């Protein structure tokens, strides 16, 4: 008896604490999804990945940016000769010094040509010219055009195309992250709604047990019921109070999980925040055709689109590595004008006047003796290409099975709803009949308590079936990749 009083006191304490708790915040499923889109950490992190991939595209485009370079050099040398000074007997020497200026703009063009447009001036003087200024100037254009390896748009643009493919993959990953999060929010919302239904059932079961105890005590006082029936009813109330406490804890856990999905609050105040979700309307009866929806899923599933892009990326890499199997054969050349004078300005004017032409051209060839590195890279690229193709087929099969399973789950839960509803109605009718029999002395507390237990179980199962049906519909939309489309949500590219 003392344990029962302690348990009842604890329940009263919990109720008093609930009465002083902050007012519950009303929340619909659409509002929960809206808050998740704005505050969910998983979506935020995935958004950074997409933005980083976009920045990588910008980085790859920078390979074509012209580079301005400038250089100043001052050098001096003193060199010994093979002759000796007849007066001192020391070795004769020569000395020279030079001062050079160089400025130019260079870069890379999409077909592989590297170029440099620049001008330079060098003043070399020394013992060879009695330290007279000797300004040698040049201005012109030079370049190197690959003819085999790295020739053309394919190899040169490969890194940019791969970066853009990675960006597209990240965009689909971001979309998948949003879909997954929305589905989790939907699941959590209906799990919380089921927890409330479980709590209501536990409360009703406790109240029924308390009512039965009250009625048994009255009948015991007039001598129409034994003390055993009263004691049995008290034990039943204690058991139901324990179930009620578990149901309350279940509500708090489900509520905290939903709050974690829809909030970015990192303070303890998050745990004190109370939600009052709106009971979702009954889900409509849906007839699904997984065979017809399978093709639609291939077009809209983010993971399938990512796999296609991974295959495209491996194709780009394989073509690049095949090009690297070629020997390097480069056409090099330059064209410009020279100037030479003791006066710097005069030397530069000669360049400007284009009086003295300078040109060169040639071919440079470089052939690895074994191509071991290149052959290894190409072989790995081909294997990665085959691996990506196989993974695409694997994902396609997985989608087929998952869509079929999700459709089957909808059909099963629809039947469960009907079955659990009939079971709950039958349990309610049986309990009502058993209570009437108890009142006329044809039943016992044990049988009434048993029927109360069966009714509670039936109510919980019906609520679980309704919750599972909503979740099954959300899961089917996720498997088809139409979650955002169904909710009319459009995603802006992350930046």
| Per-residue pLDDT tens over the stretch 57-114 | 999 999 999 999 999 999 988 888 777 777 877 888 888 899 999 999 999 999 999 9
- Reported as a single tens digit per residue, the pLDDT across 365-388 is 999 888 999 999 999 999 999 999
SS3 call for 369: coil
Torsion over CA: 321, 322, 323, 326 (sign): positive
Paired with 136 in beta bridges are 122, 340
The neighbour count for residue 143, using CB atoms within 10 Å, is 17
SS3 132: coil
Residue 247 corresponds to which tokens in the numbers above?
């149901």
Share of the chain above pLDDT 90, in %: 63
Question: Closest Cα to residue 343, out of 134, 139, 137?
Answer: 134
Please name the helix (run of DSSP H) or strand (run of DSSP E) that holds residue 464, with its range, or none: helix 445-480
pLDDT at 468 over 70: yes
Tokens of 411: 């059909």
Show me where the domains of the chain are located: 22-58+158-317+381-486, 67-98+115-147+329-366
Distances in whole angstroms, Cα of residue 434 to Cα of each of 212, 229, 444: 12, 15, 9
Neighbour-count burial for 38-54, b at 16+ CB within 10 Å, e otherwise: eebeebeebbebbbebb
- What Cα–Cα distance (Å) separates residue 413 from each residue in 93, 274, 358, 455? 102, 30, 86, 20
Instruction: Give the single-character DSSP code of 128.
Output: G
Separation between Cα atoms, residue 117 and residue 105, nearest integer Å? 5
* Res 138 pLDDT > 90: yes
**pLDDT surpassing 50 at residue 7:** no
Q: Please tell me the distance from the alpha carbon of residue 328 to that of residue 33, in angstroms, as a whole number.
A: 57
Question: Is 13's pLDDT higher than 70?
Answer: no
Answer whether residue 277 shows pLDDT above 90.
Answer: no
| Residue 246 backbone phi and psi in degrees, to 5 | -65, -40
Confidence of residue 2 (pLDDT cuts 50, 70, 90): very low
Decide if pLDDT at 301 tops 90.
Answer: yes
- Distance from C-alpha of 413 to C-alpha of 379, rounded to nearest angstrom: 50
The model's confidence at residue 494, banded by pLDDT at 50, 70 and 90, is low
pLDDT score recorded for residue 212: 79
* Average pLDDT of span 113-142: 91
What is the fold, at CATH topology level, of the domain defined by 22-58+158-317+381-486? Answer: Outer membrane efflux proteins (OEP) (1.20.1600)
CA distances 352 to 72, 232, 341, 347, Å, are 21, 114, 14, 9
Distances 46 to 221, 304, 365, 457 between C-alpha atoms, Å: 69, 18, 47, 42
Question: Could you tell me which of 298, 282, 337 has the C-alpha nearest to residue 140?
Answer: 337
Confidence of residue 217 (pLDDT cuts 50, 70, 90): confident
d(CA 319, CA 232): 81
pLDDT one-digit tens code per residue, 308-348 = 999 999 999 999 999 999 999 999 999 999 999 988 899 99
Mean pLDDT of 29-40: 94
Q: Are 300 and 485 in contact (CB under 8 A)?
A: yes
- Residue 205, sorted as left (phi over 0), alpha (psi -120 to 50) or beta, turns out to be alpha
Give CA–CA dist 292/274, Å, rounded: 43
pLDDT at 91: 83
> What pLDDT shows up at residue 140?
96
Please answer whether residues 178 and 491 qualify as being in contact, where contact means their C-beta atoms are separated by less than 8 angstroms: yes
Average pLDDT, the chain: 89
The answer to whether 50 touches 173, Cβ cutoff 8 Å, is yes
pLDDT at 417 over 80: yes
Mean pLDDT of 266-273: 88
Q: Where are the alpha helices (DSSP H) in 324-371?
A: 344-353
């Amino acid at each position: 008896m003392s344990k029962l009083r302690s348990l009842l006191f604890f329940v009263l304490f919990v109720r008093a604490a609930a009465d002083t708790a902050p007012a519950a915040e009303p929340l619909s499923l659409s509002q929960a999804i809206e808050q998740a889109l704005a505050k969910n950490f998983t979506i935020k992190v995935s958004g950074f990945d997409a933005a980083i991939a976009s920045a990588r595209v910008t980085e790859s485009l920078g390979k074509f940016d012209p580079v301005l370079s400038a250089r100043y050099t001052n050098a001096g040398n003193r060199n010994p000769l093979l002759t000796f000074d007849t007066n001192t007997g020391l070795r004769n020497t020569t000395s020279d010094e030079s001062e050079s200026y160089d400025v130019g703009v260079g870069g890379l063009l999409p077909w592989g040509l590297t170029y440099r447009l620049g001008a330079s001036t060098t003043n070399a003087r020394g013992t060879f010219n009695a330290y007279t200024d000797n300004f040698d100037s040049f201005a012109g254009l030079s370049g190197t055009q690959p003819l085999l390896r790295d020739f053309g748009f394919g190899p040169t643009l490969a890194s940019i195309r791969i970066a853009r493919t990675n960006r597209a993959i990240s965009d689909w990953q971001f979309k998948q992250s949003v879909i997954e999060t929305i589905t989790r929010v939907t699941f959590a919302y209906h799990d919380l709604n089921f927890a409330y239904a479980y709590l209501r059932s536990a409360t009703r079961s406790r109240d029924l047990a308390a009512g039965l105890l009250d009625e048994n005590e009255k009948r015991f006082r007039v001598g129409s019921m034994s003390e055993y029936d009263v004691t049995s009813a008290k034990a039943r109330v204690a058991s139901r109070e324990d179930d009620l406490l578990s149901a309350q804890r279940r509500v708090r856990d489900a509520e905290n999980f939903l709050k974690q999905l829809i909030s970015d609050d990192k303070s303890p105040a998050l745990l004190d925040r109370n939600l009052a979700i709106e009971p979702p309307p009954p889900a409509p009866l849906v007839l699904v055709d997984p065979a017809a929806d399978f093709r639609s899923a291939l077009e809209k599933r983010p993971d399938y689109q990512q796999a296609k892009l991974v295959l495209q990326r491996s194709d780009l890499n394989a073509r690049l590595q095949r090009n690297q199997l070629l020997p390097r054969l480069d056409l090099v050349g330059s064209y410009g004008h020279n100037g030479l004078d003791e006066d710097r300005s005069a030397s530069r004017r000669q360049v400007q006047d284009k009086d003295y032409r300078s040109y060169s051209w040639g071919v440079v060839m470089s052939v690895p003796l074994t191509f071991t590195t290149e052959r290894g890279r190409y072989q790995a690229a081909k294997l990665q290409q085959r691996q990506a193709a196989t993974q695409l087929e694997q994902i396609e099969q997985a989608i087929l099975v998952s869509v079929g399973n999700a459709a089957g789950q909808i059909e099963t839960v629809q039947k469960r709803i009907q079955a659990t509803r009939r079971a709950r109605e039958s349990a309610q009718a049986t309990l009502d009949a058993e209570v009437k029999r108890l009142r006329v002395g044809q039943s016992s507390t044990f049988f009434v308590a048993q029927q109360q237990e069966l009714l509670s179980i039936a109510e919980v199962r019906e609520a679980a079936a309704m919750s599972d049906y909503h979740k099954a519909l959300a899961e089917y939309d996720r498997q088809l990749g139409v979650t955002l489309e169904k909710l009319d949500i459009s995603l802006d590219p992350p930046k």
